Amino acid sequence: MKEAETISVMPAEIVKVMPAELQQLIQTKLEHAGLHTEQANEAAKHLVFADSCGIHSHGAVRVDYYAEQIAKGGVTLDPEVRFEKTGASTGIFHADNGMGQYVANLGLQEAIQMAKESGIAVVGVSQMSHSGALSYYVKQAAEQDLIGIAMCQSDPMVVPFGGADIYYGTNPIAFAAPRKEGAPVVFDMATTVQAWGKILDARSKNQAIPNTWAVDENGNATTDPHDVHALLPIAGPKGYGLMMMVDILSGILLGLPFGKHVSSMYDKITEGRNLGQLYILIDPKRFTDLDLFKERIETTVAELHQVKPANGFKQVFYPGEINQLNYEKYQAEGIPVEKNIYEYLNSETIHFDQYGGKGAFAE
């Protein structure tokens, strides 16, 4: 197995941008590409949230792709959205391939209202474009004193456990719950060992990757980022099972393309993605006293902080806490953005040849 040679490289130049400025820059760029103001504003809020949490793979770095997709007609600019209530606590938000963050948020608001009325809501968002970081949605639910679970499909780029051919996407899952004092407990995870962005980073630096991240075209573990053919599921068969669950609940359940049939983000950029997303929202007070529930979440956080840290760790954080700490810091001090992205956002440029016709790995 070939090891990738490690060489010294200059780090990317970073500028600090205050959230309000970054949001306006992103909104202006998306409007320039053709998106209506209300939709561009919601998408920009979402991307700034992701960057503030340190989830830079779903922040401003995505704007170039979104702008090209919008300009080429890959997003329905005036989507004919509608909410179809299919039961007392179930429904489908038909998104007509509108801007992902915008339509997914509209679907979330329907789910929140339904959960408050019925105690639980299971709502699918059908036929949308890429919707970004799932934590954005479940956090909103938790801020309304609801438990939030969200999951969605993504581009096929993962081999099933024991396989050598790509079938599933990174198929993320997010969870949030309200607490008594602090911000809601929120965590957001892909069902792969590592995100594709980490592979790209290793390629740019010509650095080896751990042999647990990805496989080559023969299904063999590789440490060479240039030989990566597919990503690996977390914990082998366990992550594989979670991927399948997400695909069934956010794809097959909504009558949408599934597994390897899910559209690539880049291949046909002029066409709608037809992706699915599922929300499961629960009102805790239908099961227990709400104040007691939130107090016990608070106690859980405090007790986790008191756990003796292992060697090499300063303290134990609750899942998703580092993202929350990033959010508080970057909202106050400014968000780190690569200089070339900042310059792009300040330009009049809309690219028409950066992403179209490429595979799941933008190649």
318, 300 contact by CB (below 8 A): yes
Nearest to 132 by CA among 109, 150, 114, 158: 150
How many residues belong to the chain?
363
| Class of residue 13 by CB neighbours under 10 A (exposed 0-12, middle 13-18, buried 19+) | exposed
How far is it, in rounded angstroms, from Cα 45 to Cα 51?
A: 10
| Cα 56 from chain centroid (whole Å) | 10
Beta bridge partners of 151: 173, 278
Token pair listed for 188: 């957001």
DSSP reduced 3-state for 359: coil
Residues near 349 by Cβ (< 8 Å), separated by ≥ 6? none
DSSP reduced 3-state for 330: helix
- State yes or no: is 261 an active-site residue: no
Which bin fits 23, alpha (ψ -120 to 50), beta or left (φ > 0)? Answer: alpha
315, 193 contact by CB (below 8 A): no
Beta bridge partners of 147: 282
DSSP reduced 3-state for 128: strand
Query: Of 130, 229, 261, 351, which residue is the catalytic one?
Result: 130
Residue written as token pair 């719950």: 177
Which bin fits 337, alpha (ψ -120 to 50), beta or left (φ > 0)? Answer: beta
269, 356 contact by CB (below 8 A): yes
135, 126 contact by CB (below 8 A): no
How far is it, in rounded angstroms, from Cα 352 to Cα 39?
A: 21
How far is it, in rounded angstroms, from Cα 300 to Cα 293?
A: 11
Nearest to 211 by CA among 238, 191, 189, 193: 193
Residues identified as active-site: 130
